[in-house]
């Protein structure tokens, strides 16, 4: 290990200046991260940002061009098997065998960890139970739903109690209920001391789970910090008001303009105004009072936290291309972006 | 880690993945059924359609044909190795294997071993059908079994060639075509179906010197009770030669594919 690393000996993941190109595509151009033991690190970025590439490099599935990294103290290039022995990986696409049953998949993993027969059986049953797969345990996993397959995949990566867990977009494609369950499981693992590196396209998810977030785009780090720091970089809350009669939009805006911290935005055709504000929940109270006094009917009002769109708009000056990338996220314009219940959120 | 433990782990990795490969056949028995029907059909067609017209030194054509067609069968069966490998590589499970602390080449060894198991099953059925249409072991069961062993080793060697092909192509369809196309001339320009002496002399030069002819001749000599030593030696030399070249080649190209 190089001297550079010594300062971080205690960290679960240390990566220095990792670069990777596919021909002329620079998937990663110099990414460095440090993840202390027991923490959750959120890697946030739009499609093609390089998230999967970084995860595959750190989990020894892919060779990097330059830079160096250690995972749980083991160098990924010179000691890949030691890395593999300590990590768990749930990739972006399920790494299960469709012809094997859920139980057989788990047994296979157990055997490949060279565990004892009884221990394998016991652990498999335990994981099937934990991930609510007991009923489906003995049918081929190709008959599983997408969510079940992801759960099986996660169970397989947890088989040997990994010290460091890599989750590449673990909740993409899950229904809200399964997502919350998965978040819960991740939190439990972290409480037990597991270090987690998780990639996501949803700021909200990173916000919810991660101690630290890194935003990458085009293979470069564009921001890093705690969720709070990041959000303050992006800007504060946005007050969104949807008036019932579109022709009231301008009058409404004039009434609440003083709540704005930056230039407000209006979409006349929809009767929508969005006002970046620093007033927090107070902005809602104030807006409701003023508009009510002026007899302007409000169809909807919400204080929303910055979304991934805002992050990218602010940090990169371009938005991710919404339709392909973020089915649950924004897409429809600012008003509909709240999605997952962060209306009135004041966290 | 000491070497004994390492070896133990490697063996257990190979067995675990072989078992996984074999489970697939129990879930999709049609895979085995179709890969058995085709060579059996070949055997019956050759016996009854061409058999009468082909002059061999053996009494009946089936006595000549069976040893040869076993070689053809394992050869085609082995070519499945590359296809299965390409298929595995295109699936998520390979990422699972690669993220586990296993002997990475166990994936290749397990694949080739699986195809040996499958070949055992298929040649067993072929021999059975051979008996029904008149094949007899004339020179002791041990010699015959020795012949079968050579056939299986021959199949194992060609599995590694096939593995190299499967690893060097990008998708399953290409593996399918690339795996089979070059085998046909080798199979027909050999002593599998007809004596090489009946071919034009320019072709004989080629046909006499392929591993296929050597193996077919060795197995045939063993089952018919003819002197088999020279042929068997030739066949074994081919088998070891091929293994010595293609095992390292497959391992190298597997490790290179990373990414
Ligand atoms: N095998 C490959 N060959 C060529 N280019 C690749 C390959 N894999 C990835 N790339 C390119 O590298 C860049 C980063 O891809 P990566 O998969 O890491 O992105 P990502 O952040 O995981 O995106 P997503 O959110 O869509 O999963 C992209 O521009 C992608 O096109
Ligand atoms: Mg990805």
Name the residue among B148, B147, B135, B137 with its Cα closest to residue B61.
Answer: B135
Q: Do the domain assignments include residue A5?
A: no
Interface of A with B in 126-155 (CB under 8 A): 140
Closest C-alpha to ligand 1, atom 22: A52
| Residue of chain B nearest A104, judged by CA positions | B20
Nearest to B100 among A62, A99, A113 (CB): A113
pLDDT score of A333: 32
Q: How far is CA B108 from the centre of its chain?
A: 15
Ligand 1 site, CB within 6 A = A 22, 25, 27, 45, 47-53, 92, 201
Name the residue among A150, A148, A154 with its Cα closest to residue A166.
Answer: A154
**A325 vs A46, A93, A117, A150, A175, CA distance in Å?**
7, 15, 43, 19, 16
b/e code A171-193 from CB counts within 10 Å (16+ = b) = bbbbeeebbebbeebbeebbeee
State the alpha helices, DSSP H only, in B46-170: 61-89, 93-98, 106-132, 141-168
Predicted complex ipTM:
0.88
Q: Are residues A218 and A248 in the same domain?
A: no
Q: Are residues A187 and A251 in the same domain?
A: no
Q: Are residues A52 and A198 in the same domain?
A: yes
| Residue of chain A nearest B104, judged by CA positions | A81
Q: Are residues A134 and A240 in the same domain?
A: no
Residue B96 alpha carbon to ligand 1 centre in Å? 19
What mean pLDDT is predicted for residues B211-235? 84
Q: Do the domain assignments include residue A1?
A: no
CATH number at A165 reads: 3.40.50.300
pLDDT score of A319: 43
Q: Do the domain assignments include residue A135?
A: yes
Which residues is A213 bridged to in the sheet?
A42, A225
Q: Are residues A160 and A22 in the same domain?
A: yes
Interface of A with B in 40-69 (CB under 8 A): 56, 59-63
Q: Do the domain assignments include residue A311?
A: no
Dihedral sign computed on CA atoms, order A337, A339, A343, A345: negative
Q: Do the domain assignments include residue A318?
A: no
Is the distance from CB of B235 to CB of B220 less than 8 angstroms? no
pLDDT score of B108: 95
| Residue of chain A nearest B87, judged by CA positions | A97
Q: Are residues A99 and A222 in the same domain?
A: yes
CATH number at A260 reads: 3.30.70.100
Q: Phi and psi for B233 in degrees, rounded to 5?
A: -60, -45
- Burial zone of B239 (CB within 10 Å; 0-12 exposed, 13-18 middle, 19+ buried): buried
Q: What pLDDT digit, counting tens, does each position of B64-113 carry?
A: 888 888 999 999 889 989 999 999 888 888 889 999 999 989 999 999 99
Is the distance from CB of A14 to CB of A5 less than 8 angstroms? yes
Domain that holds residue A74: 11-230+325-339
Residue A105 alpha carbon to ligand 1 centre in Å? 28
A96 contacts on B by Cβ (under 8 Å): 92-93, 96
- Which has the minimum average pLDDT: A124-128, B93-97, B155-159, B229-233? B229-233
Ligand nearest to the CA of A91: 2
Check residues B59 and A14 and name the one with the higher pLDDT: A14
Q: Are residues A168 and A300 in the same domain?
A: no
pLDDT score of B153: 95
- Burial zone of A261 (CB within 10 Å; 0-12 exposed, 13-18 middle, 19+ buried): middle
Per-residue H/E/C for A105-163? HHHHHHHHCCCCHHHHHHHHHHHHHHCCCHHHCCCEHHHCCHHHHHHHHHHHHCCCCCC
Do B16 and A95 lie within an 8 Å CB cutoff?
Answer: no
Tell me the three state secondary structure of residue A303. Answer: strand
Closest C-alpha to ligand 1, atom 30: A48
| Mean confidence (pLDDT) of chain B | 87
Kindly state the helix (H) or strand (E) to which residue A80 belongs, with its residue range: helix A80-86
Residues around ion ligand 2, judged by CB within 5 A, are A 51-52, 92
> How many structural domains are present in chain A?
2
Residue A168 alpha carbon to ligand 2 centre in Å? 7
Dihedral sign computed on CA atoms, order B200, B202, B208, B211: negative
Q: Do the domain assignments include residue A207?
A: yes
Dihedral sign computed on CA atoms, order A219, A222, A228, A231: negative
pLDDT in tens, chain A (347 residues): 443 444 445 899 999 999 999 989 999 999 999 999 999 999 988 888 999 999 999 999 999 999 999 999 999 999 999 999 999 999 888 899 999 999 999 999 999 999 999 999 999 999 999 999 999 999 999 999 988 999 999 999 999 999 999 999 988 878 888 888 889 999 999 999 999 999 988 877 888 899 999 999 899 998 888 887 777 766 678 888 999 998 888 999 999 988 888 778 888 888 888 888 888 888 899 999 999 999 999 999 998 876 656 666 666 655 444 333 333 333 333 333 333 333 333 32
B97 contacts on A by Cβ (under 8 Å): 112
Chain B interface residues facing chain A, Cβ-Cβ under 8 Å? Answer: 9, 12-13, 16-17, 19-20, 23-24, 27-28, 91-102, 258-259
What whole-number distance in Å separates Cα of residue A197 and Cα of residue A163? Answer: 11
**B7 vs A74, A190, B102, CA distance in Å?**
23, 35, 11
pLDDT score of A7: 40
Q: Are residues A60 and A103 in the same domain?
A: yes
Q: Do the domain assignments include residue A344?
A: no
A120 contacts on B by Cβ (under 8 Å): none
- Most A CBs within 10 A among B18, B19, B101, B102, hence the mutation to make, goes to B101
B9 contacts on A by Cβ (under 8 Å): 114
Residue length, chain A? 347
What whole-number distance in Å separates Cα of residue B199 and Cα of residue B189? Answer: 8
Alpha-carbon distance B243 to nearest alpha carbon in chain A (angstroms): 26
Is the distance from CB of B154 to CB of B211 less than 8 angstroms? yes
Q: Are residues A123 and A179 in the same domain?
A: yes
Q: Do the domain assignments include residue A242?
A: yes
Closest C-alpha to ligand 1, atom 12: A27
Ligand 1, residues A48, A172, A216: which to mutate, most atoms within 8 A of Cβ? A48
Is the distance from CB of B55 to CB of B148 less than 8 angstroms? no
Tell whether the model's pLDDT for residue B10 goes beyond 90. yes
Q: Are residues A213 and A268 in the same domain?
A: no
Q: Are residues A262 and A182 in the same domain?
A: no
Q: Which residue has the tokens 């670069």?
A: A19
Residue A242 tokens read as 């949807």
Q: Are residues A163 and A112 in the same domain?
A: yes
A156 contacts on B by Cβ (under 8 Å): 96
Give the full edge-to-edge strand order of the sheet including A272-277: A265-267, A272-277, A237-243, A298-304
């Amino acid at each position: 290990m190089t001297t550079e690393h010594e300062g971080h000996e205690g960290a679960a993941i240390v990566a220095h200046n990792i670069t990777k190109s596919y021909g002329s595509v620079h998937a990663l151009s110099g990414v460095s991260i440090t993840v202390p033991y027991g923490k959750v690190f959120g890697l946030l970025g739009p499609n093609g940002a390089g998230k999967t590439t970084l995860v595959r490099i750190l989990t020894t599935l892919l060779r990097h061009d330059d830079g160096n990294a250690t995972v749980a103290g083991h160098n990924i290039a010179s000691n890949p098997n030691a890395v593999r022995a300590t990590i768990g990986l749930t990739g972006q696409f399920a790494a299960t065998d469709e012809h094997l049953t859920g139980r057989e998949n788990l047994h296979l993993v157990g055997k490949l960890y060279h565990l004892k027969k009884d221990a394998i059986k016991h652990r498999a049953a335990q994981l099937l139970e934990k991930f609510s797969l007991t009923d489906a345990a003995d049918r081929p996993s190709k008959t599983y739903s997408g969510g079940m397959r992801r759960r099986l995949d996660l169970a397989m990566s947890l088989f040997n109690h990994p010290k460091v867990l890599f989750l590449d977009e673990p909740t993409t494609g899950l229904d809200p209920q399964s997502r919350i369950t998965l978040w819960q499981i991740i939190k439990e693992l972290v409480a037990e001391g597991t270090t987690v590196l998780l990639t996501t396209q949803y700021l909200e998810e990173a916000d919810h789970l991660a101690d630290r977030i890194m935003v990458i785009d085009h293979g470069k780090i564009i921001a890093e910090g705690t969720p709070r720091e990041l959000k303050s970089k992006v800007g504060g809350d946005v007050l969104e008001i949807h008036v019932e009669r579109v022709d009231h939009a301008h009058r409404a805006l004039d009434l609440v303009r003083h709540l704005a911290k930056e230039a407000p935005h209006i979409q006349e055709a929809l009767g929508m105004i969005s006002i970046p504000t620093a007033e927090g929940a107070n902005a809602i109270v104030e807006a409701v009072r003023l508009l009510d006094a002026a007899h302007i009917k409000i169809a909807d009002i919400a204080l929303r936290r910055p979304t991934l769109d805002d992050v990218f708009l602010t940090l990169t000056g371009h938005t991710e291309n919404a339709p392909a990338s973020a089915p649950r996220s924004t897409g429809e314009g600012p008003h509909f972006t709240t999605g997952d219940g962060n209306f009135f959120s004041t966290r | 880690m000491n070497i004994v433990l390492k070896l133990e782990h490697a063996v257990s990795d190979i067995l675990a993945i072989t078992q996984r490969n074999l489970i697939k056949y129990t879930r999709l028995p049609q895979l085995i059924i179709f890969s058995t029907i085709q060579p059996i059909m070949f055997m019956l067609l050759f016996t009854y359609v061409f058999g009468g017209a082909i002059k061999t030194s053996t009494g009946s054509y089936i006595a000549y044909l069976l040893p040869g067609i076993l070689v053809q069968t394992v050869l085609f069966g082995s070519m499945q190795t590359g296809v299965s490998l390409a298929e595995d590589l295109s699936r998520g499970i390979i990422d699972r294997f690669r993220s586990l602390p296993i002997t990475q080449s166990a994936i290749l060894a397990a694949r080739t071993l699986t195809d040996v198991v499958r070949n055992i099953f298929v040649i067993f059925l072929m021999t059975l059908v051979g008996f029904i249409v008149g094949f007899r072991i004339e020179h002791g069961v041990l010699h015959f079994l020795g012949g079968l062993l050579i056939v299986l080793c021959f199949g194992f060697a060609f599995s590694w060639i096939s593995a190299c092909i499967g690893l060097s192509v990008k998708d399953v369809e290409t593996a399918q075509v690339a795996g089979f196309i070059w085998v046909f001339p080798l199979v027909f320009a050999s002593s599998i179906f007809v004596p090489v002496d009946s071919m034009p002399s320019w072709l004989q030069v080629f046909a006499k010197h392929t591993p296929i002819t050597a193996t077919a001749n060795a197995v045939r000599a063993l089952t018919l009770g003819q002197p088999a030593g020279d042929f068997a030696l030739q066949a074994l030399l081919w088998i070891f030669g091929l293994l010595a070249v293609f095992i390292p080649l497959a391992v190298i190209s597997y490790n290179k594919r990373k990414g």
